[in-house]
Amino acid sequence: MYPKKKAITAAVTGTALGIAGLAVIAMPASAGAAPVLPTVSAEDLVQSVATAKTPALSGTVRKTTATPDRDLRARMSNWSSVRALTSRTR
């Protein structure tokens, strides 16, 4: 077989396979029959959602403010050591 004929055969085969692949992908997928749902009116649905208990949202929040310890407060008030450290690093 000649090289040009091989290339044309490969191109036609690749194109045909590509078109077949796109056709398979484009086919709609079916999930089967629709499930049977209970008949509920809109008012009943809203009422059930409004009266539902939500444990994640029914708790309480307690806020506590922590005071810094005395050593930290003493170290933060001593700015001379901070200035000394920054002047050494420059």
The per-residue pLDDT for range 63-84, each reduced to its tens digit, is: 776 665 666 666 666 555 555 5
pTM of the model: 0.32
Distance, CA of 73 to CA of 67 (rounded, Å) = 10
Residue showing tokens 């499930």: 35
Higher-pLDDT residue of 27, 1: 27
Query: Under DSSP, is residue 1 helix (H, G, I), strand (E, B) or coil?
Result: coil
